Amino acid sequence: MKRWPLILLLVLVLPLAGCRTWQPAGMSPEALLEVDPPPRVRVTRTDGEVLTLLVPEIRAGALIATAAPGAVMIEDIRLLEVQRIDVLRTVAFVLPGAILVALVGKESCRC
């Protein structure tokens, strides 16, 4: 059984896991959750503590994680961040792998 297809698949897929970055939401928690609720948010409190809240929603003046324990009062939020795909990082990781695949493919078929 040839292992190179599996290795090639790993080389192409593994970098995709690192293409997400935390970026400031740029809006209030209420506005963020009203438009398109993200699956997770990262909150920096005024005391410097950083929390990641899964499936957040607002209840009684607090941002609460409904999928895991955790809550922050809205007035205690210093920075609210969401995960987004970083296109430049994705291209920088995937392009060298695609070039490598093309070179290996060309050599293996002797075209």
Location of each CATH 2.30.30 domain in the chain: 22-84
Kindly report, residue by residue over 61-106, the tens digit of the pLDDT. 999 998 878 899 999 999 999 988 777 777 777 777 778 777 777 7
- From residue 94, alpha-carbon distances to 3, 15, 89, 107 in Å are 20, 7, 9, 20
Q: pTM for this structure? A: 0.64
Kindly report, residue by residue over 18-47, the tens digit of the pLDDT. 577 888 998 989 999 887 889 999 999 999
Question: 22-84: what CATH class?
Answer: mainly beta
